[in-house]
Structures are given as C-alpha cells and as structure tokens.
Amino acid sequence: MAKDHQSIVIAGAGSIGCHAGACLALAGRDVTLLARPRVADAINAGGLRVSDIDGFDRLLGDGAIPLAVDPSVLSHADVVLVAVKSGDTAAMAELVARHAPESAVVVSLQNGIDNVDRLRAVLGRRRVVAGMVPFNVVQSAEGEMPFHVHRASAGTVLIEAGDEGLRKLLDVAGFAVVTHADMPAVQWGKLLMNLNNALVALSGLPLAAQLADARWRRILATQIDEALAAMKAKGIAPAKVAAVPPALLPTVLRLPDWLFLRLARRMLAIDPMARSSMWEDLERRRKTEIGALQGVVLGLARKAGTPAPLTERIVALIHDAETRGKGSPRLPPEQVAAN
C-alpha cells in the first residue's frame, strides 16, 4: 500500500457494503459502490442514508458517493472490498479477476469460513486479505426512500495482520478496523455467533427480543454445543469474537432470563428492531447463506463423526422456508427444537 491515494471499490453494495462505503466516503476516501441495479436506482433516486445505534445519522445526497453497475469500474481499484453473500463469491471472484489490476488488494468482509480460499483460488497473484465484520447492519424496506442502512450493534472490524497501510486506509469513523494475527480462528468464532441468524429468520422476531427468550437461547446453545464438538474433534480452536469465550457460550446462553439479561449486556446492546440478514433474505425471497453457516457445521460434524441433529433440523427448516417463498415462517421455539 505504498501509494498516497488509494481507490476503493465495494464489490457488493448490500447492507454491509453500503454501510462501509458510506463511512469511507464521509471520511474522504475515494470509494465507489459496485451495486445491483435495484440498489443503484434506489440510491440515485433518493440518496443513501447511513445511521447507527450510537445516534449517528447522515444522508449522502446525489453524487456524494459514486455508484456503478458495470464491473469494469474494478479496473480502477487499488482495494476491492468484497461484501457479497457467500453464494455469490465465485461469480464476484471471476469479475475481479477479469477487471481488477493484479496489484489490487482484495479484502473479504463476508460471513463463512471458505470465502477467502475461494477468492484466492480464482484471483491468482492478487493479494486476498481475510476480514470479519462483527456488527449487524439492517437495510430499509423495499421501495423506502432514501435507501437506508443502519448499524444496529457495536463492534470493530478485523482484518488479517501484515499491512498497516491498508488498516489505516479502512479505519474510519463508524467503521473501525484493527488487525488480528489468526483470522481463521476469528472466522470460526464468528461462525458460532452467526448460528443465531437462522433462528431469527425462523422466528421472525427482532434479534434483541429473540435473545431475551430463554427458549430460543437454549436452541442456540445446543447448536453451539454441536459445532464446538465437531471443531474439537477436528482440532479447530475458535477465537473469542464476543464478550464471552466460545467454550462458555452455551453455559451463558442457558442462564435464566434474569441472570442472562444482567450478565450479557454487551451481547444485548442491539437496536430493538434489528434482525438478521437471513431473515431479510427470506422476507425478500432470496436464497440464504444457510449452507455457509449451519451447512459448514454439518459438513464438519460428518467428517468428525460427531452428532449434529439440531443443526440438521434447522438447515431443513430454512430450506423449507426458502422453497415456500413466503418469508419468515414465524415458528415457535418448540417447533424448531422438536425431534
């Protein structure tokens, strides 16, 4: 990162991508959003509003942040921030390989375990950097103007160590960035937390309300038990990415409501209306990332020979909701937990 001026392209301007792009633009960075036509049209029509749980609220009006739907914009990128869903990684990797210069640094800001490897397999000599976004960003309803992204929880973005210039470039107000020496462990730790995404999607509840219910927390705790057993059998040690170490998460989640609510204040520091991206995918009739989350746990459990019946059931319930195409099924916890 020797150049004084760096051009950043956000490859995948959804909730996370628009939030990152808006924060970078407000900090004076040269940033362009590579977006789907639906998002580009909405922002062109009414601007991009960005807000957060701490009270920050800004509207980026016409022309405040460059937009593109043509991937040839990648040809000008010094840094590409990949923020597409896991199912779109291969297609985006091909676009980056076709259009971006070989000198471009590619940063994955995606959920899941293997996106960095999949990017590297396609991108050859380009440098690919692992990243992790710990916070929740929600997007405005279809047709709402202006297009609005809201950071609904706190957290600091992590990227792999080794390039202080890159960290400084990306570290701006509202999108704080630090480095970490063991990003694979971080990604496994984040995967444990992301197992709740499916429960929010199945329940239809806001995240804070769902976590405040001991019945849903017990389901999450059992999923994490299944994941930790498989990880242990395969020699994987997940990093701590929340206030609670991974090994203690099931115990804390199973505490009575009154004690959990007292001890887990940081975990519950969430906008009261925030939900998960998987809930949003069901509501918008899109394919979810269940394969990159619970699906990874199932694959690992099968290799390790450890049982994961609840995880398997949740995968099936999400696939059924996808097939029905009616949004969140709004299931009660007893139906999700049933054998």
Q: What angle do CA 279, 285, 289 make, to 5 degrees?
A: 55
Query: Does residue 253 come out as left (phi exceeding 0), alpha (psi in the -120 to 50 range) or beta?
Result: alpha
CB neighbours of 28 closer than 8 A, spacing ≥ 6? none
Is the link from the previous residue into 146 a cis peptide, with omega within 30 of 0? yes
Q: Find the helix or strand (DSSP H, E) in which 299 lies.
A: helix 294-304
Helix axes 196-203, 214-233, angle to 10 degrees: 150
At 1 the pLDDT is 47
Which pLDDT tens digit goes with each residue over 121-171?
Answer: 999 889 999 999 999 898 887 778 899 999 988 889 999 999 999 999 999
Which SS3 state, helix, strand or coil, does residue 132 take? strand
HSE-up (13 A, CA, CB side) for residue 331: 22
At 271 the pLDDT is 81
87 and 264 Cβ atoms separated by less than 8 Å? no
Q: What is the mean pLDDT of residues 176-193?
A: 96
Domain range summary for the chain, segments of one domain joined by +: 7-181, 187-337
Residue 177 confidence (pLDDT) above 60: yes
94-108, 143-157, 185-199, 320-334: which has the minimum mean pLDDT?
Answer: 143-157
Which pLDDT tens digit goes with each residue over 191-216?
Answer: 999 999 999 999 999 998 999 999 99
Which pLDDT tens digit goes with each residue over 9-32?
Answer: 999 989 999 999 999 999 999 999
At 118 the pLDDT is 96
Buried-exposed string 147-162: b where 16+ CB fall within 10 A, e elsewhere = bbbbbbbebebbbbee
Interatomic CA distance for residues 227 and 311, integer angstroms: 9
Q: Which residues pair with 68 in a beta bridge?
A: 34
In this predicted model, which residue has the larger pLDDT, 92 or 244?
92
The CATH architecture that domain 187-337 belongs to is Orthogonal Bundle (1.10)
Strand arrangement of the beta sheet that strand 147-151 belongs to: 57-60, 48-52, 147-151, 137-139
The CATH architecture that domain 7-181 belongs to is 3-Layer(aba) Sandwich (3.40)
Query: What are the angstrom distances between the C-alpha of 154 and each of 70, 87, 311?
Result: 33, 26, 27
Interatomic CA distance for residues 54 and 57, integer angstroms: 9
Q: What is the mean pLDDT of residues 159-187?
A: 96
pTM: 0.92
203 and 334 Cβ atoms separated by less than 8 Å? no
